[in-house]
Each structure stands twice: as C-alpha cells, then as structure tokens.
Amino acid sequence: MLSDITTKFRKNIEKLSTFEKAVLVDKATERPFTGELLDVKEEGVFACRLCGAELYRSKDKFESHCGWPSFDDEIPGAVRRILDADGRRIEIVCASCGGHLGHVFEGEGMTPKNTRHCVNSVSLVFKSEEEASTDPDRAKAYVAGGCFWGVEHYLQQLEGVESVISGFMGGHVMHPDYYDVVRGGTGHLETVEVTYDPVRISYASIIKRFFEIHDPEQTNGQGPDIGSQYLSAVFVSSEAEANVVAELIGKLEANGYTIATQVLAKKEFFAADEGHQDYYEKKGTEPYCHGYVPRFEKRKS
C-alpha cells in the first residue's frame, strides 16, 4: 500500500504507530465510538496526522451519531474523493499525501449541505484556535500579481490575514534586492507572503481575492508595469493548494476569462527592504494598477 502514499512522506509513515499506519496507509477502520476526536467541540482545525495538511474546520463538524467524527464540508482542495475498492462507496484521502481518512456520504439530510465526511479520529490531529494561531508554518500563501505594493495593500485588508510581506520568489539569485530584480536577470517575480489564520479565513478565500484584485489575463506584466518580474503567478507548496488554485482558475475560465496566471512550486522567499513594505499605507494613496473586480460573480462582458 505504500505506493499510494507520496514518497516524500515515507519517513512520516515510519513514525506512525502500528494502528495509525493500519488506518492511514492500509485503509483499516477504527471501531466506532472509540476515537479521541469524536466529541471535540472546541474551535480549531483538524489536520492530517501523516503530513499535517489542514483538512477540516470545527465549524463544519456535526454530531451524526455514527460513531466517527463527521463534517459536512472540507477545507477547499484539502480532501480528494476516489471510488472505494468495494466499487460502491466513495473513499476520502488527504489531497496532500494520500493518507486514508474515511468515506463521504451524500443525500442523508443530516445538515443543509447534505454531506457527511465520516473520518477516522486516528487519521486526524486537532489544533485549537490558539495553537493554530501560534503555529508559524501553519498558513502562508505566496502570490505574484504585478507590483507587490498593490497586492500587499488589498490582501492585508482581508479579515483573518495577519501580515503581508512584499518580496521576491522564483529566481536563481540568493537574497536579491529590489534593483537587482528590476534590472532583470534574476528570474524573480515580485511576490507577497501572506500569513493568515486558517480558523478565520481559508486559503481559497485568499487566492480568490488575489484573482479579483489584479488582471490574471495580462501576459506581459500588470497594468503599466511591463516585464517578467511583474507576471501573475501562484506559488504552491502542496497538492491541496494546487487543487484550490486549479478549481478557481476553472471557474474563471467558465466565466470567459483566459487565465495567464502560472501555478509554480514554492521556492525560497526573500523579503524586500523596509522601504518597500506597507508602501501605500505610508504614502496615504491608493494603488495605481490594482483594483477590485468581482470576476467570479458573472461572466466576462
């Protein structure tokens, strides 16, 4: 069964107990009403025990009386559905590592969403709201959409976003400064690092807003800023994040947009100097090449 799990997580598998491995890797099921997370009602997030990817929020957990933790929704892109080996049920696995979670059922009428993710407690770890908010690696998003001043300005207005830092990503030069990147040749894009609280805002919400505050169709820069450092991109660090971005791009394309945004693997982020942080706040002005357009609400005219 190891072939079902991404190779990069094999060391994590070695740290699992025999029972944890039986469920997460070999797809066993824990006995009902025995899981330690069955009755957890505290605010927070439920993450994959194998890879740490965040899968569910407490607000989506409900009492189904089935004997296993139940959720009527997942964090967008975090859970993958596949046909079970029995040919009838739908198995759910962590989209980031492939670890077995349980099964999903629809049409039972237990909640308005009419969906029940029936999840093994042993497949999950719980982070309280306080723990999640102090986890430095829990929630960071990286996007590039032209001049980083404007992207920073709009994304830091979102409820649940804790900080937005302007910087550079994607190139081959270590510790570039602003003028190195402007002159070209470093391969970097002007990028922002968004640190957020996943209990209060989802990765999908941040990426959705990103697509609404710059022009994702422009191929040569952003607005009047022309050059490779101003291209549109989302840097992802997991399959779950890539799935979220792909889903949102699909919705935009269905609305008639031709998306030029690249989806790239996350690389090392280099923060710009202090003079390039909170630029518009310091100046007391509004961005000149960014603005809000509700692209997901209606088709392109």
Residues with catalytic roles: 118, 147
Closest by CA to 24, choosing from 12, 34, 38, is 12
The token pair at 151 is 């992207």
Q: Produce one character per residue of 22-43: b if its CB has 16 or more CB atoms within 10 Å, e if not.
A: bbbbebeebeeeebebbebeee
Terminal alpha carbon distance of the chain = 50
**CB neighbours (10 Å) of residue 123?**
27
* Residues near 203 by beta carbon (within 8 Å), at least 6 away in sequence: 75, 76, 77, 139, 141, 196, 241, 244
Looking at 58-99, which runs of residues are DSSP E strands?
61-62, 70-71, 79-83, 90-94
Helix 148-155 / helix 203-212 crossing angle, nearest 10 deg: 130
| DSSP assignment letter at 8 | G
Residue type, 96: S
Please give the Cα distance from 152 to 225 (Å, whole number): 16
Output DSSP code: residue 98.
-
Distance CA 42, CA 56 (A): 13
CA distances from 241 to 94, 130, 203, 247, 261 (A): 12, 23, 8, 10, 15
List the beta strands (DSSP E) in 132-228: 140-145, 161-169, 189-196, 221-222, 225-226
